[in-house]
A and B are shown apart, each in its own frame.
Chain A
Amino acid sequence: MQIPYTVESRPDTGVYNGKMGIWLFLASEVMLFGGLFSTYILLRTGAVSWLEGSVPVEQGGAGLNVPLATFNTFILIASSVTIVMAWASLAIGRAREKEIAHLELEPKDIQERITVSALSNPQKIRAESLKKFQFYMGLTILFSLLFLVAKAYEYNYKFSHGIYPKTHNFYAIYFTLTGLHGLHIIGGVLVNGYFLLPWKTLLTRFWVIIYYLIIPVVLIALCAFLIYSGSGVIFAISPIILYIFLLVSGLVKTFVSAIPGCQMWETEPDRFINRIECAGLYWHFVDLVWIFLFPVLYLLPGS
C-alpha cells in the first residue's frame, strides 16, 4: 500500500500530507489549551481573591516553586533547540548526500570529483547524519525526562503538604493545565523514543527472547496462578490460553515488521526527515504552551 504525499507536496495544499495533518492536530490542541486558558480567566476574574504563585503558602500564596519552573523553562527551550537540530542534521546530511551523488553522475571537474569522493561517500554521510540525529534526539528525550522529574517532584511536594486540586480554584486550574501539559510531554517522549532507535532490528534481535521466554513465562505464571487459586478452571480455559499465545505472538510479529523506528532513514530518508519535522512541530508546540503557562501560573501577582 502506498500512502500518498508522504514526501512530495500535495498540489492543492502546497505541503506534504503529514505536515497538514500535524498542523490540523496542533490547531485542535490550541483550542484544547485555549479552553483551559479561558477557564483560568473565568476562574480568576470571578474569584474574590486569587493566590500568587510565587508567595509561600504560609503567607497566603500558592507556594509554587519558581526556581524549579524557571529551570524547567530552560530545559524545554533547550529541548526545542535540540529537536530542531536533530531535524537539521538529517536535512543537511540528505542535501549533501544528494549533491555528491549528483557530482558523481555528472562530473564537471574531475579534480573536484576526486576530492569529494576521497572525503566522503553518500553511505558514510547518511550514517554520520543518523548519528548526529540520534545524539540530538537523545538529548531532547533526556531533557524531557528531566522536565518530568522536576514536575513529579513539584507534584509530590504539593500532595505531601495536603495541597490537591480541590484545595483552591488556583490549584484546580494549576493541576489541570500542568497535568495536561505533562501528558503532552510524556506523549512526546514516546514518539521521540520511537524515532530514536532502530526498533525493527532491536525487536527482531530480541524476538527469540520474547517468543521463547517472556510470553511463555507470562502464560505459565497465569496458569500457575489459576491452578493455585483453585479448581480445574485451567483445563476449561486452556484453549483460550493457547489462543492468547498465538494472538500475542502474531501481533508482536506484525508489529515488529511495521515499526521501523529510525530505520526508515535507510529505506525512505525523505519521508523520515518529514516525520522528524512533524515530531518537532509537536514538540515546539508543547514548549510554546509552557512558555505561556509559566508566567501565567507562577509569576503573575495574586489579587
Chain B
Amino acid sequence: MSEGHIHDVSQDVKKYLYVFLALAVLTVVTVGISYIDFGLSGSIVVALIVATVKGSLVAFYFMHLNHEKKSIYQLLGLTAVCFLILVFIALGATSNKHPYHDNEDEHRFQKEYNESLTHLHEHEQHEEVHEQDNAHSSDFTAPVGSPIGAYWRNKVFNPQQDGDGTSDTSSGDAIYGTSVISGLVTFEGKIPRMKSLMEEMSADIGCYGKYTTTDPISDTVVVGPSNTLANVLVRITEGPPIGRAYKATDEISAGRIQVAILDQYGCMYKPHILAVMAGQEITIKNSDGIMHNVHAIPTINSEFNKAMPKMTKKIDYTFQEEEQDPFPIKCDVHPWMGGYVSVLPHPFFSLTALNGKFEIKNLPAGTYLLEAWHEKLGSLTSTVEVREGEISESNFSFSKL
C-alpha cells in the first residue's frame, strides 16, 4: 500500500487537517442553521444536505474513496441502490397514510366538505344538523364549528359583513349592567342511550383503569334528571354590549368569568365543552399521566397540535382571535376523545351543567338575541328583553332531529 507513496501520504496529512477544519465548521453551521425556521421539509432538506457534505468529506478523504479501486466502487454502488430501496419503501408506505397526518389534506377536505354543505343547505338548517350527525360518526371532525355555520349566521345577523367570521370588537369601552338572563335547557323526546366506551378503551389501562365502578359513557348527549340537558353553550349573539372591547384578563380579575382548565382524565375531556374569551389562557392538564395529544381545529385561529407525553403534566395555550362557532378539540391517540372549545369576544355566556340551568349576569338593559348551542342537536335562538336590575327567563327545549 505504502510503497513509493511517501509524498502522497505526506501531502494527505495536510489535507486531513483541512478536512477536519471543514467538518468542524460544518458542524457549527448545522447547529446554527437549526435555529432558523425553514419549515419542516426545509429543515430536513438543509440538515441532510449539510450531513451529506460532511459524510462525503469523511468518505472521500478519510476513507480514501477519492482514489480507490473499481471493485470497491461497484460494491458501494450496489449498497447505495439497496439503501435507497429501503428508504423508499418507508416513504412509499406512508404515502397512503391516514388523513389526520397531513394538516393540509385535512384543511382541503374540510374546505371541500364545507363548500358542498353550502350548496346543499343554503335554505335548510335542519339538514345541516343531520349532516353533522353523519360527520360525527365518520373519522373526520364534525364541522359544527366550521365556516358553514359562521357563514350562515353572519348572513343573517350581519348582512353587511363578508362572512369571514371576524367582527369588530375593538370599538367602544366595555359596559356592564345589573340585568340577568337565566333559564333552563331541556331535552324533549326519547332520550338517546349513549354507548359505552369500555371496548374502545380496553387497549389502554391508562384509560379504562380510571373507571372501576361504572363504564365510561360517551358524553356527546348528556341528559340529567327531569330531562335537563347538559353541555349546552348559551351566549349573547346580538344586543347592546356586542361590539365593545372586553378583555379576558379584566373579566377574570373581576370574577365575571372563570379560569379555563381543560383536563384529560380517564381519556375524556373535562369539561366536554369549554367556553373562553379571546385572549384567555387555557390550562390544558394531563391528569391521566399517559400519552395524549391535544389537537384543536379552529376556523380563524391557527391550528394547534401538541403532544402531551406522560411527563408533560400541563401546557398553557391562548386562542387570540374570537370564533363564530365552537370548534372541535380531539386526541388523535384516542379517537373517541372529543370536545369543543368556544372562543367568544365577551363574557356574556354560560354553560349548562347536568341541571340544565344557565345564567348570564351583568347585562345592561336591552333586547338580546340569545343562542343555545349543542354539539349534536344544533342551535336554537330566542329574543329576550330585559330591564335594568331585573331577571328575564328564557327556556330552550332541544329535540332529536
Contact = CB atoms under 8 A, between A and B. Distances in A.
Interface of A: 7, 9, 12-16, 19-20, 23-24, 27, 30-31, 34-35, 37-39, 41-42, 45-51, 54, 57-60, 66, 70, 73-74, 77-78, 80-81, 84-85, 88, 90-92, 94-96, 98-99, 161-163, 167-168, 270, 273-274, 277, 280-281, 284-285, 287-288, 291-292, 294-296, 299-303
A270 B5 CA distance: 13
B308 A60 contact: yes
Given A14-B70, A60-B315, A291-B58, A95 B2 contact: yes
Interface stretch (B13-21, B147-155, B265-273): B13-21
Contacts of B6: 92, 95-96, 99
A294 B54 CA distance: 12
A60 B79 contact: no
B59 A277 contact: no
B193 interface: no
Contacts of A95: 2-6, 9
Contacts of B13: 85, 88, 92
B79 A31 contact: yes
Q: Which of B1, B23, B24, B308 has the most CB of A within 10 A?
A: B1
A38 B2 contact: no
A125 to B, nearest CB: 11
Interface in B304-354: 305-312, 315, 332-333
Contacts of A303: 40
Contacts of B59: 284, 288
B2 A167 contact: no
Contact of B93 (A12, A42, A168): A42
B96 to A, nearest CB: 11
Contact of B97 (A45, A59, A92): A45
A174 to B, nearest CB: 13
Interface of A, helix, strand, loop or mixed by DSSP: helix
B83 interface: yes
Contact of B307 (A20, A51, A162, A273): A51
B293 interface: yes
Interface in B262-307: 291, 293, 295, 305-307
A39 B89 CA distance: 10
Contact of A49 (B1, B31, B305): B305
A31 B27 CA distance: 25
Interface stretch (B41-49, B209-217, B223-231): B41-49
A46 B94 contact: yes
Contact of B90 (A41, A77, A88): A41
A105 to B, nearest CB: 15
The 3 nearest A-B residue pairs measured at CB? A95-B6, A14-B69, A295-B47
A258 B180 CA distance: 96
A31 B23 contact: no
Given A42-B90, A84-B62, A295-B48, A48 B293 contact: yes
Nearest to A14: B69
Contacts of B315: 59-60
Contacts of B31: 66, 70, 299
Nearest to A10: B71
Contacts of A59: 315
Interface in B62-93: 62-63, 68-72, 75-76, 78-79, 82-83, 86-87, 89-91, 93
A78 B9 contact: no
Contacts of A12: 71
A121 B109 CA distance: 81
Nearest to A42: B90
A295 B90 CA distance: 19
Q: Which of B12, B62, B72, B100 has the most CB of A within 10 A?
A: B62
B260 interface: no
B71 A14 contact: yes
Contacts of A287: 58, 62
Contacts of A292: 51, 55
Contacts of A299: 30-31, 34, 43, 47
Given A38-B90, A74-B27, A24 B75 contact: yes
Contact of B71 (A20, A46, A99): A20
B309 A57 contact: yes
Contacts of A273: 1-2
A49 B40 CA distance: 12
Nearest to B13: A88
B10 interface: yes
A80 B312 CA distance: 39
Nearest to A67: B31
A15 B101 contact: no
